[in-house]
Structure 1
């Protein structure tokens, strides 16, 4: 039987983090989000084996989400909802950037 060493007992050794794809799905599900935005030159992305997730940058100790929002909904409230959803799922600091507002 494999037992954890005493210093590891009762704590998570390898935290289960949300992947960039999971974050993208969560963000797209927030009312008022038109889509993710990869930045002016396509630089905002998380690069994974064989593909990239545009608009989501997962870095050490934080997550950036760049979005296009619906102009018919309150922008600040939508950004706060994005922040709340991503933070609740990842428990990491979240930085939301509104790149564009669609009419």
Structure 2
């Protein structure tokens, strides 16, 4: 992880960058909510930061091109964190679903 940012700042930046990618509906916590960065008093769901390895789990918008969207997510996250970036699509939001509704 970058020594310039705290883990909380880094996780928040990654989450914001991911959510800004067209075609990303939301972040996803995994089957049991286990994919998260745990911080004092809160967690950033859908982003798991480890030294040299970052995981991002997504809900895509209906009709979003999967490969292009995940490539863009990987690219934007790689600008923020060092090491490998793994992107997983966990779900696709229903047509017309609002934010936070898969």
List runs of 5+ in structure 2 lacking aligned partners: 95-102
Post-superposition shift, 1:100?
Answer: 0.5
Provide the rounded CA distance (Å) in 2 between the counterparts of 1:15 and 1:41.
30
Name the TM-score, length of structure 1 as normaliser.
0.81
Match of 2:71 among 68, 80, 99: 80
RCO comparison, higher one (Cα < 8 Å, 6+): 2
Superposition pairs for residues 4-19 of structure 1, below 5 Å? 15-17=3-5, 19=10
1:22-64 deviation digits (Å, cap 9, x = unpaired): 1001100000000000011110000001110100000121110
Aligned length: 90
**Is 1:25 the counterpart of 2:32 in the alignment?**
no
Rg (Cα) greater in structure: 1
- Secondary structure of the 2:29 match is coil
- Per the alignment, residue 51 of structure 1 pairs with 42
Provide the rounded CA distance (Å) in 1 between the counterparts of 2:82 and 2:35.
21
RMSD over aligned CA atoms reads 1.4
- Per the alignment, residue 68 of structure 1 pairs with 59
Runs of 4+ aligned residues of structure 1 deviating over 4 Å after TM superposition are none
List runs of 5+ in structure 1 lacking aligned partners: 1-13
**Is 1:92 the counterpart of 2:80 in the alignment?**
no
